[in-house]
Structure 1
Amino acid sequence: MNNPTVNKTRFRYPMRWRIMDSLETGTSLLWPKSMSRYTGWLLLSPALLLVGILVIGLVQIADSSMRTLDTSTYLFSETYSGENYATIIESATYAKVIWRSLLGAFLTVVFTLLLAFPYSYILVRTRSALTRKTLLVILFLPFFIGQVVRAYGWLIILGNSGAVNEVLGLVGIAPMRLLFNFPAVIFGLVQYMLPFAVLLLAPALTAIPQEIETAAGSLGANWRQTLWHVILPMAKPGLIGAGLVVATLSLTDFAMPAMLGGGSQDFIANAIYDQFFRTSNQGLGAALALVLVGIGSIMVGIVFMIFGAGTLGMGAKK
């Protein structure tokens, strides 16, 4: 029996629910239920569009790479030939540039992972909220500063009259040439790639239960054994993913070799820029671009052959 003293309040349909109902009605008119089987393709369409644009661009680059430049008229040939690729293969300069790019990418991956792994581990395992927030702030600050600005900063710090040489002078060491060489380029690339590697490693380390490390310690394993036999194998997907991202970004980098290398430590991207915008030989530049794409694809393929493509997902290769 209802109590007459109870105040009956009328339920009011929230405005946000009305908006959502209107959106749902409009969506059903534009995309009826009979088309539900194609919903996945609809959601994929933006990504497929971007991939399609990329493929069209690669086709045009491939077309340009097969045309040679007539230096007397600066017109491209109407017929196709492999002269641009022959020039790259026969040139000792381009062989040196390609080797420098591969070596630079490899060294950047090694040093970046050596620095990123302990940083990520401390970030994930620390119990201090202040320490974690401080590490996060230090990690994200570089993203607010462009790569070119950072490179200019290192030019000032590492210059002949920079802060580093001034400190060395205080202890009686003569000024050293710290810029415009290969180590300076590697240093700049490692500093630039470190946040990317940490962001990729942190989730992989977070997925490792801390109880497993405790169990390993209780079974007599010291921290070195736990690191080598427990943490590193379980963090392999993150290490491989971070290594691939760092390697591809380093291999294709332009700013650090151009600015910290001083024009004497060019990577492939710098050689491509020179052909497109300095010598106007777009055919040779396009051939170099496809060589860069090929090198990157082969590098990724080799990693997948060694570790398995499933290593980056749940179906890791044992």
Structure 2
Amino acid sequence: MSSAHETLRRGGVPRRFSGLLWRNPRLGLGSLLAPPLAWFILIYLAALVVLFVAAFWSVDPFTGELDRTWTLDNFRAILTSDTYRAIALRTVAMAAAVTVTDAVLAFPFAYYMARVAGPKLRVALFALVLLPLWSSYLARVYAWRLILSHDGVLNWALKLVGLPQVDIGYSRWAMWIVFTYIWLPFMIMPLYAALERIPGNFFEASGDLGARGWRTTAKIVFPLALPGLIAGSIFTFSLTLGDYITPVLVGGPGSDFIGNVVYANVGIANNVPFAAAYATLPLLVMAIYLLVARRLGAFDMM
């Protein structure tokens, strides 16, 4: 030990610091986590605080200048306006519908990837899931816009097989389809990670006790996959809540989301305080969602 201490002493400050970290593992972990935590606190949390504070300000109707006097007028306007309430409800309903649809589609696909597919097929399925993420978000939305338009690929294929054409382009149905497609990989990957970690002997024990496939799924697979399902739903739900591009490109009249109102008030109306107040709605909805998930015990199994 004395020779080691002598070596550290001769090595200068870097060796002494290395020895300090070696003797105190928690200090080493703290030094690794400090930069990202500082970035998270200074950039993300500070921005949220500024957003929340600005929501209580207002804009002078005559000069257009920012009035930093605290007021509840922005929140009062949101709660008393039928239009803004309808937009908020439409956004939350669409986010919930997309989340449920993605969960229904992703669960069997992720289960097949994790428990049934061989190594080579699993790699191919991974590539199929991740391949859309390699292209631009706008390219994928515009592709679906071409598919769902009146003279698009969908109606062309229906006409080819003798079926009546459908008119779902520039509608809420189109938004539902596009959102479901775009966020589906974000549901598949967490579900796959959760299903892949389920020990194989759990299935053997369930079979030995006489449980059939559906009972095993309900009593073993689903509860153990619930953390992955919650993680995926956080992605799909929050990403749909905050989106404003898809409603503009594939939504019809009356398809505005919360993000569209925020964008209009920031870039067009120049009413940043109202935009900040309206932008707190998705944060509030996600906070309630996380609290409900926690009460259901979804995070206890992570």
Pair in the same fold by TM > 0.5: yes
Partner of 1:87: 77
Match of 2:181 among 191, 194, 200: 191
Partner of 1:265: 255
Q: 1:31: how far off?
A: 6.0
CA contact (8 A) 1:268 1:288 kept: yes
Asked if 1:289 corresponds to 2:276, the answer is no
Aligned match of 2:64 = 74
Q: Would you say 1:279 and 2:279 are equivalent positions?
A: no
Q: CA deviation at 1:210?
A: 2.5
TM-score of the superposed pair, with normalisation by structure 2: 0.87
1:275–1:284 contact (8 Å) kept in structure 2? yes
2:172 counterpart residue number:
182
Label 1:26 to 1:253 Cα distance change in 2 as closer, same or farther (>3 A).
Answer: farther
Deviations 1:188-237 (A, max 9, x none): 11111111111101121111123322332343322222212221122222
The letter for the 1-side match of 2:143 is G
1:149-298 maps to which residues of 2 (within 5 A)?
A: 149-262=139-252, 264-298=254-288
- Rounded to whole Å, the distance in 2 between the matches of 1:297 and 1:83 is 23
Summarize the Cα distance change of 1:178–1:57 in structure 2 as closer, same or farther, 3 Å threshold.
Answer: same
The answer to whether the 8 Å contact 1:272/1:285 transfers is yes
Q: Unpaired segments of 5 or more residues in structure 1? A: 1-20, 314-318
Give 3-state SS (helix, strand or coil) of 1:66's partner.
coil
Q: Which residue of 2 is the match for residue 148 of structure 1?
A: 138
Rounded Cα–Cα distance in structure 2 between residues aligned with 1:47 and 1:185? 35
**For residue 3 of structure 2, what is the aligned residue in structure 1?**
none
Distance change (3 Å), C-alpha of 1:78 and 1:248? closer
Letter in 1 for 2:30: W
Task: Report SS of the residue matched to 2:221.
Answer: helix
Q: Identify the residue that residue 310 of structure 1 maps to in structure 2.
A: 300
| Residue 44 (structure 1) aligned with residue 33 (structure 2) | yes
Partner residue of 2:20?
33
Give the structure 1 partner of residue 4 of structure 2: none
Alpha-carbon distance in 2 for matches of 1:57, 1:127? 44
Native 8 Å contact 1:66 1:82 kept in 2: yes
The worse-fitting range, judged by mean Cα deviation, of 196-205 and 293-302 is 293-302
| 1:57-100 C-alpha deviation (Å, 9 max, x unpaired) | 12222232122122332112242211111111111111111111
**Match of 2:32, as an amino acid?**
L
Between the aligned residues of both structures, percent identity stands at 26
Structure 1 residue ranges (4+ consecutive) displaced by more than 4 angstroms after TM superposition? 29-32, 34-37
Q: Give the Cα–Cα distance (whole angstroms) in 2 for the partners of residues 215 and 310 of structure 1.
A: 23
CA distance in 1, matches of 2:298, 2:220: 20
Q: 1:125 to 1:25 in 2, by over 3 A?
A: farther
Change (3 A) 1:127 1:300: closer
Q: Is the 8 A contact 1:257 1:266 kept in 2?
A: yes
Q: What is the deviation of 1:127?
A: 4.5
Q: 1:241 is matched by which residue type in structure 2?
A: A
Counterparts in 2 of 1:29 and 1:138: CA distance versus 1, 3 Å = same
| TM-superposed deviation, 1:240 | 2.0
| 1:137 aligned to which of 127, 131, 143 | 127
* Backbone CA RMSD of aligned residues: 2.3
Distance in 2, matches of 1:27 and 1:153, equals: 55
Can you list the C-alpha shifts for 1:138-183, whole angstroms capped at 9, x where unaligned? 0110110122110000001111111100112224444322222222
- Relative to the length of structure 1, the TM-score reads 0.83
Q: In structure 2, do the counterparts of structure 1 residues 214 and 28 end up closer, same or farther at CA, with 3 Å as the change threshold?
A: same
Shift of 1:271: 1.4
Cα contact 1:180–1:264 (8 A) shared by 2: no
